[in-house]
Structures are given as structure tokens and as C-alpha cells.
């Protein structure tokens, strides 16, 4: 799926499905992920140590196999967003967005590159371009440009109606780990405060005809289904690290226990609600 198609689906309220990638995998991954039906992947450069060249190769490969590649940039930065688009991203995911000014800077970098300076300010602030030819050129230059902002704080939730008044935002993705912590209920994903925040985000996005989703880092399939049925249509489920870790825990450990005659020590709950393994040192060899 190309970014332009995915963007249309998001605004229409249709669901799209993908995963996160901390490491960008091996060269066969893009074709495999296309064959199994992923609509998108998003590559992390906020928490994962990947350089620009690696990012660019991965973005180009996924795009070539018709899996829309998004890039989560490490910070709210117009220059980082523009570099990601230049590298081949079909869209940018920006973390911890809270202000209208931040959204405007991201819209300018993602939607209207290479326009800059006063001309860019006029385009973002007033929808005014140097002329119709320039506007048509920018549309053809950025056909897949998709902007997804992350809501990860009380300020982000409270300010979301104003953030979505800025033309150019295509979806909002909730970062559940940071959102729960910033609301004072860390990893308590069934807490009324957390649930209320999610419901508020869904309602706001639907009122503005903008896609909305959450990165389902951990938790059960039923939990993800429940929230998807409440309105999420940008379905980001787990990622490469978690799929591998859970596969080892859920299957390889069971094989070992059966063959060695030892108790099955499978403990998928050790992968915590944050999506990270909760390491225990006692009894480790």
C-alpha cells in the first residue's frame, strides 16, 4: 500500500494494519511482510540505534514492495522530518506533540518540502502558495506524505482539538507507555484515568475525520480488538523484537520443557506492559 492510499483510508475511517520495527531486519523482510499482508511498517529512530543510511535503505525497500514505510523521528524537529521524507519515508511519526506550533512545523516539513522561509509560513498559516503551479508541483513532489502525531501526555490530550485544526495531520497515534506514566498511572492500562484519555482522543480524532490508533506494545489480542472496535483505525500491533521474544517464550521453551522433562517455564508476562522484558536476576545462569 502506498502512503497516498493509506492516508485516504485513515481519513475515511477505514482500518490499516502494521507493525513497528526497532531493527530493520534482513533483506528478505520487506517482501515477506508484503506477502503476509501488512499495509505499513514504521521504523523507529527515537529509541532504536539506526543510522541515516540504514534507515534510507530500509525505507526504500519497503516502499518498493508496496508496504508503506513510516519513520518515527527521535524528536519534534522539522529538519529530522524532512530528512526522513528525503530518505524515502511515506510518512513521519512525531513523538510527544503538544503544541500548535509544533504541528505547523511538522506539516511544513512533511507536506510542503522543499518550500521554506516566508513562503512556507504563508502556506502553512494561510494556505497561500506563490502560485497554482507551485501548489501543483508540491502535491506531485510529496504524493505519499503522511503526518502522524503522537499523543503521549495530558497536555497533548487537552490540546488535541486545537492541534487537529491545523490542516495536514492525517492520524494521531497514542503512545500508551508514556501516556500512562505522564497521567500518573504507569502501565495501568485499565485505569479509569488512562481509559478516559483514550476515549477522549478517539472522539476528538473522529470529530476531525483524522485517523487514530495506539501502538499495542504488549497486552492480549482481545485487548487490542476491544480498542479497535471503539474506534482505532491505525492498528499498530507489537513489533519485530516482541514477536521474536514471544515466539521463543511461547514455543521454543515449550519444546525444551517437553524434551528435557523440565517444568515449562514459559512466562510471556515477563514481557511487561511497556513492551520491554522485566529482567529478573535471581536464579539466572
Taking only the tens place, the pLDDT of each residue in 32-89 is 989 999 999 999 999 888 889 999 999 999 999 999 999 999 999 999 999 999 999 9
The mean pLDDT value for 183-194 works out to 96
164: burial class by Cβ within 10 Å (0-12, 13-18, 19+)? buried
pLDDT computed for residue 215 by the predictor: 94
Q: How does DSSP classify residue 261?
A: T
Question: In the chain, what are the domain boundaries?
Answer: 3-240
- Domain 3-240: what homologous superfamily? Phosphoenolpyruvate-binding domains (3.20.20.60)
The mean pLDDT value for 183-204 works out to 97
The mean pLDDT value for 192-204 works out to 98
pLDDT digits (tens, 9 = 90+) for 4-37: 999 999 999 999 999 999 887 678 889 998 999 9
Whether the CB-CB separation of 214 and 42 falls below 8 Å is answered with no
How many Cβ atoms are within 10 Å of 268's Cβ, its own excluded? 14
pLDDT computed for residue 28 by the predictor: 87
Report the alpha-carbon angle 56-61-64, nearest 5. 125
| Mean pLDDT (the chain, rounded) | 91
pLDDT > 90 fraction of the chain, expressed in percent and rounded: 78
Residue 218 phi/psi, 5-degree rounding, is -140, -155
User: Does 212 have pLDDT greater than 50?
Assistant: yes
How far is residue 143's CA from residue 25's CA, in Å, rounded to a whole number?
27
pLDDT > 70 fraction of the chain, expressed in percent and rounded: 92
pLDDT digits (tens, 9 = 90+) for 142-164: 999 999 999 999 999 999 999 99
Whether the CB-CB separation of 175 and 152 falls below 8 Å is answered with yes
Strand partners, 212: 172
Amino acid at each position: 500500500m502506498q502512503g497516498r492510499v493509506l492516508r485516504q483510508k485513515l481519513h475515511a475511517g477505514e482500518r490499516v494494519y502494521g507493525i513497528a520495527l526497532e531493527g530493520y531486519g534482513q533483506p528478505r523482510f520487506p517482501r515477506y511482510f508484503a506477502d503476509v499482508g501488512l499495509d505499513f511498517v514504521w521504523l523507529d529512530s527515537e529509541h532504536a540505534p539506526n543510522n541515516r543510511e540504514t534507515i534510507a535503505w530500509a525505507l526504500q525497500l519497503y516502499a518498493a514492495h508496496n508496504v508503506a514505510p513510516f519513520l518515527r523521528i527521535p524528536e519534534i524537529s522539522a529538519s529530522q522530518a524532512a530528512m526522513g521524507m528525503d530518505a524515502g519515508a511515506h510518512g513521519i511519526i512525531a513523538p510527544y506533540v503538544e503544541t500548535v506550533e509544533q504541528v505547523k512545523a511538522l506539516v511544513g516539513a512533511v507536506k510542503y518540502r522543499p518550500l521554506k522561509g516566508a513562503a512556507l509560513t504563508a502556506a502553512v498559516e494561510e494556505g497561500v502558495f506563490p502560485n497554482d503551479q507551485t501548489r501543483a508541483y508540491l502535491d506531485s513532489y510529496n504524493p505519499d506524505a503522511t503526518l502522524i502525531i503522537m499523543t503521549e501526555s495530558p497536555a497533548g490530550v487537552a490540546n488535541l482539538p486545537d492541534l487537529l485544526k491545523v490542516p495536514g495531520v492525517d492520524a494521531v497515534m497514542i503512545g500508551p507507555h508514556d501516556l500512562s506514566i505522564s497521567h500518573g498511572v504507569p502501565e495501568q492500562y485499565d485505569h479509569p484515568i488512562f481509559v478516559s484519555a483514550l476515549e477522549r482522543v478517539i472522539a476528538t480524532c473522529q470529530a476531525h475525520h483524522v485517523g487514530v490508533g495506539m501502538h499495542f506494545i504488549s497486552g492480549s489480542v482481545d485487548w487490542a480488538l476491544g480498542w479497535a472496535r471503539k474506534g482505532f483505525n491505525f492498528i499498530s500491533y507489537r513489533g519485530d523484537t516482541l514477536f521474536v521474544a514471544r515466539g521463543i517464550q511461547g514455543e521454543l521453551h515449550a519444546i525444551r520443557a517437553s524434551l528435557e522433562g523440565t517444568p515449562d517455564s514459559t512466562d510471556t508476562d515477563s514481557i511487561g506492559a511497556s513492551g520491554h522484558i522485566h529482567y529478573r536476576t535471581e536464579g539466572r545462569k
